[in-house]
Amino acid sequence: MQVTPADTGDRAAAQTLLARVVAAHHRLELVWADGGYTGSLIEYGLTALALVIAVVKHSDDMRGFVVLPKRWIVERFFAHLMRSRRLVRDFERRTASAEAMVYWSMTLLMTRRLARPRPSRV
């Protein structure tokens, strides 16, 4: 995860984030991205990181709400973040505190899932 200042563009931040992720996870080969991450980022992923970036786009003939493949995973993540009241608005002055709030929100989600009673396997 990487939190950047508001004046940092998504494509520039994606380059540094992808480099960090590839360094940590050597077997990573494919990344799904939104339609805004086209252009030089795809070339950078192939040449510098040996990474295929597959862009999930809306088709021109879609009308109304349509669930896009793999896109729902990101939207669900954002929904979990918005359950934390401090993350609904940008209250943080530093990116470090904003990043800490994201970790806090995800920790709450994981502990709730771990504490959930599971059905017995009988």
Distance, in Å, from the CA atom of 22 to the CA atom of 108, rounded to the nearest integer, reads 27
- The answer to whether 81 and 105 are in contact (CB under 8 A) is yes
The pair phi, psi for residue 48, each rounded to 5°, is -85, -30
pLDDT of residue 122: 64
Tell me the torsion sign for CA atoms 57, 76, 21, 98. Answer: positive
DSSP secondary structure letters along 25-46: -TT--EEEE-GGG-THHHHHHH
pLDDT of residue 111: 93
Residue where the block lists tokens 């998504």: 10
The pair phi, psi for residue 33, each rounded to 5°, is -135, 160
Mean pLDDT, consecutive 10-residue stretches, the chain (122 aa), reads 82 90 93 84 92 82 75 81 75 80 88 86 68
pLDDT of residue 87: 74
pLDDT of residue 67: 75
